[in-house]
Amino acid sequence: MLSNYLLLVWRGLRQRCPRCGVGKLFKHRFTMYECCPHCGWRYEREEGYWTGAIAVNLIVTELIIAAVVIPLAAMQVPLLPLFAIGLPATALLPLIFYRWSKSLWMTIDFMLNPTALQ
118 pLDDT band (50/70/90 cuts)? very low
* Domain boundaries, given as residue ranges, for the chain: 2-112
Helices (DSSP H) in the chain: which residue ranges? 2-13, 51-74, 79-96, 98-112
Cα(36)–Cα(77) distance, rounded to whole angstroms? 48
25-46 tens-digit pLDDT: 999 888 999 999 999 888 888 8
Query: Closest Cα partner for 8 from 118, 105, 96, 117?
Result: 105
Q: Give this prediction's pTM.
A: 0.81
Q: What is the pLDDT of residue 59?
A: 93
Residue 117 predicted with pLDDT over 80: no
